[in-house]
């Protein structure tokens, strides 16, 4: 096209794609280019605004490394990550929610009933429930990956003072589909706001806080993998999660208790519990693989 | 919002913006988020596709540095840079076209009639014309920045074998608004395709070639700055510029000549020209500042 104009540019882009382009790639790029071009035309984007957007992306590249991915963070605070989670959830299974950047591989294998709290400061919480299929049948041998912040709002890996794999575990559900562990109550925290994402938040008067949560990945043979989070019902940031991760079905009451005697017997620290603690009941419902 | 869903997510994003957010910022982010969310919903974007997109951005960050900006290149090959140029051009002035990544500051001042070819290999081209306002009046003292590739398709700065500022110049139009210089014919070249932009091009069967061109920035007091390019009418890539920069008004005939005697007398090398050379006539029309 030797006369690319406002009217012909999008079609020129589409015509450039060769006939043997993968159908899904062609469809996604067609939709992307059409909408991106429409955004520029309709808003009358100026050169300065275009440069500013590119500068934010360049800065995101500069600040990203193996431990920090500012592009994922942009996706998170723009609601993109959550929307991808939502549209890829099944209506009859547990809703998925953001993976976040703090998952690591290699967490230690622990048995049902294990204690993750150890020497960690903070409120004791006993978390348990079952992994079920959408008909309510227990799934034996489902694998759970569990990770969460310490009481200071930091994950091991972020925080030199925590042992490697602190508050991280890998557990396999028992014959009744049960999982169970004791841990410390996670804390609200801020997403990193010292980079271009922080600039975006500041420009729109937004705070970087997330409500506290427990992270889980639940997998089982024949079922769709589930990445999700569970939130306490009394968290102050429940209505204003910076990354849009909260779903009503993922909010759980932290039930205050003073008597450990009716806790399951396979809870490792059952006999050592003194004073107030909290109980969280949460079942994971996995959908069959398509 | 404690129950972010497919239906409520976009509004939740909009509600997060504080009341004192700059009006233009709010408008742009509203449009951006609405369209981005619409893209995800309508295409049913999968987690794998979302991860692939983020991976391309992460790789773009890794490959970018002070000399290479892969985000600008993404903008270029998606037609975004050109569309921003087009919608910010004035209908009665010379169309603008992509700045590209090869402009550098500090090019040497040269007089009208200067020779840029020097020892460069390739066809001799004499480029000249006038800088005019939209009523056709000459603009005296307009500043032109000129840069182009050598015969090998590389710019000085990219190519160790070229002297600093080779084929780069800064010229001021004379009392008649005239500019004039002799140079070498620029060559077609490929945009860098060894990074994620190259992946995108390969996935859609696109080549990375740009038609050869002369780059100009024309500025004058009281007028809008013009960033543009001028293309030879016989270039093989005129209809398929990888970055959508070609406009009909920017295509110029490279007129073949064998007689230098009727060239302007202030052309520095006029008396030394032997054999075949080419003449390009191009006038810049600048619009008044708004």
Helix (H, G, I), strand (E, B) or coil at B179: strand
Q: Do A246 and B1 touch (CB under 8 A)?
A: yes
Delimit the domains of chain B by residue range.
Answer: 1-44, 80-286
What is the tens place of the pLDDT at every residue in A186-221?
999 999 999 999 999 999 999 999 999 999 999 999
What is the tens place of the pLDDT at every residue in B20-48?
999 999 999 999 999 999 999 999 999 99
- What distance in Å separates the CA atoms of residue B159 and residue B112, rounded to the nearest whole number? 27
The token duo for B195 is: 């990074």
Distance from CA of A102 to the nearest CA of B (A): 16
Distance in Å from the first CA to the final CA of chain B: 44
List C-alpha distances in Å: B122 to A242, B108, B152, B185, B233. Answer: 58, 22, 9, 6, 18
Strands A277-281 and A255-257: antiparallel
**Contact predicate B210/B190, CB 8 Å:** yes
- CB distance from B58 to chain A under 8 Å? yes
Contacts of B60 in chain A (CB under 8 A): 57, 61
- Closest CB to B75: pick one of A35, A54, A78: A54
Mean pLDDT of the B257-263 span: 96
Determine the pLDDT at residue B173: 98
A72 pLDDT above the threshold of 80:
yes
Q: Could you say which residues from 224 to 253 on chain B have a Cβ atom under 8 Å away from some Cβ of chain A?
A: 238-241, 244-248, 251
**Contact predicate A54/B69, CB 8 Å:** yes
Determine the pLDDT at residue A158: 87
Q: Do A36 and B9 touch (CB under 8 A)?
A: no
- What distance in Å separates the CA atoms of residue B115 and residue B107, rounded to the nearest whole number? 14
Q: What percent of chain A has pLDDT over 90?
A: 92
Mean pLDDT of the A149-156 span: 95
Number of H helices, E strands in chain B: 6, 14
- Closest CB to A206: pick one of B3, B16, B71: B16
- Closest CB to B36: pick one of A16, A47, A80: A80
SS3 content of chain B, % helix, strand, coil (to 5): 25, 25, 50
Confidence of residue A77 (pLDDT cuts 50, 70, 90): very high
Q: Do B84 and A43 touch (CB under 8 A)?
A: no
Tokens 């559900």 — which residue? A173
**Contact predicate A216/A230, CB 8 Å:** yes
Quick one: residue B141, left, alpha or beta (phi over 0 = left, psi -120 to 50 = alpha)?
left
Q: Do B205 and A17 touch (CB under 8 A)?
A: yes
Average pLDDT value for chain A: 96
Q: At what angle do helices A47-63 and B70-77 cross, to 10 degrees?
A: 130
Distance from CA of A241 to the nearest CA of B (A): 8
- Closest CB to A64: pick one of B42, B61, B203: B61
ipTM: 0.91
- Closest CB to A2: pick one of B40, B47, B251: B251
A1 pLDDT above the threshold of 80:
no
A157 pLDDT above the threshold of 90:
no
B102 pLDDT above the threshold of 90:
no
Q: Do A17 and B240 touch (CB under 8 A)?
A: no
Determine the pLDDT at residue A42: 98
- Closest CB to B84: pick one of A1, A40, A80: A40
Choose the weakest-confidence range: A109-123, B90-104, B241-255: B90-104
**Contact predicate A244/A82, CB 8 Å:** yes
**Contact predicate A107/A168, CB 8 Å:** yes
The token duo for B287 is: 């619009």
- CB distance from B33 to chain A under 8 Å? yes
B216 pLDDT above the threshold of 80:
yes
Q: How far is C-alpha B89 from the geometric centre of its chain's CA atoms?
A: 13
Does domain B80-286 match CATH 1.10.8.50? no
**Contact predicate A179/A114, CB 8 Å:** no
Contacts with B22 (C-beta within 8 Å, 6 or more apart), sequence order: A203
- What distance in Å separates the CA atoms of residue B58 and residue B196, rounded to the nearest whole number? 9
Contacts of A237 in chain B (CB under 8 A): none
B190 pLDDT above the threshold of 80:
yes
Q: Which pTM was predicted?
A: 0.91
What is the tens place of the pLDDT at every residue in A14-44?
999 999 999 999 999 999 999 999 999 999 9
Confidence of residue B157 (pLDDT cuts 50, 70, 90): confident
**Contact predicate B37/A79, CB 8 Å:** yes
Residue A285 CB neighbour total at 10 angstroms: 21
Contacts of A25 in chain B (CB under 8 A): 203-204
Determine the pLDDT at residue B273: 97
Q: Could you say which residues from 75 to 104 on chain B have a Cβ atom under 8 Å away from some Cβ of chain A?
A: 75, 78-88
Q: Do A80 and B40 touch (CB under 8 A)?
A: yes
Sign of torsion, CA B104 B109 B110 B111?
Answer: positive
Contacts of A31 in chain B (CB under 8 A): 39, 42-43
- What distance in Å separates the CA atoms of residue A35 and residue B143, rounded to the nearest whole number? 37
What is the tens place of the pLDDT at every residue in A259-287?
999 999 999 999 999 999 999 999 999 99
Determine the pLDDT at residue A210: 97
Determine the pLDDT at residue A70: 96
């Amino acid at each position: 096209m030797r006369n690319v104009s406002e009217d012909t540019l999008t079609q020129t882009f589409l015509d450039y794609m060769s006939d043997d382009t993968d159908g899904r790639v062609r469809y996604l790029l067609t939709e992307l280019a059409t909408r991106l071009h429409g955004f520029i035309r309709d808003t009358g984007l100026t050169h300065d605004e275009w440069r500013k957007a590119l500068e934010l992306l360049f800065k995101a590249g500069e600040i990203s490394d193996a431990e920090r991915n500012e592009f994922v963070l942009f996706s998170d605070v723009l609601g993109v990550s959550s929307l991808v989670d939502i549209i890829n959830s099944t209506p009859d299974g547990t809703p998925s929610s953001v993976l976040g950047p703090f998952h690591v591989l290699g967490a230690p294998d622990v048995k049902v009933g294990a204690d993750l709290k150890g020497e960690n400061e903070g409120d004791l919480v006993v978390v348990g429930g079952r992994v079920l299929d959408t008909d309510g049948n227990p799934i034996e041998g489902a694998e759970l990956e569990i990770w969460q912040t310490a009481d200071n709002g930091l994950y091991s890996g972020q925080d030199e003072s925590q042992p490697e794999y602190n508050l991280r575990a890998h557990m396999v559900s028992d014959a009744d589909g049960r999982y169970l562990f004791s841990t410390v109550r996670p804390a609200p925290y801020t997403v990193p706001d010292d980079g271009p994402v922080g600039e975006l938040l500041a420009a729109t008067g937004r705070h970087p806080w997330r409500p506290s949560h427990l992270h889980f990945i639940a997998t089982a043979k024949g079922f769709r993998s589930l990445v999700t989070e569970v939130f306490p019902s009394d968290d102050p940031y429940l209505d204003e999660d910076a990354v849009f991760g909260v779903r009503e079905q993922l909010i759980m009451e932290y039930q205050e208790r003073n008597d450990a005697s009716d806790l399951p017997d396979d809870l490792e620290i059952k006999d050592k519990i003194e004073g107030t603690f909290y109980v969280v009941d949460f079942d994971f419902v996995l959908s069959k693989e398509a």
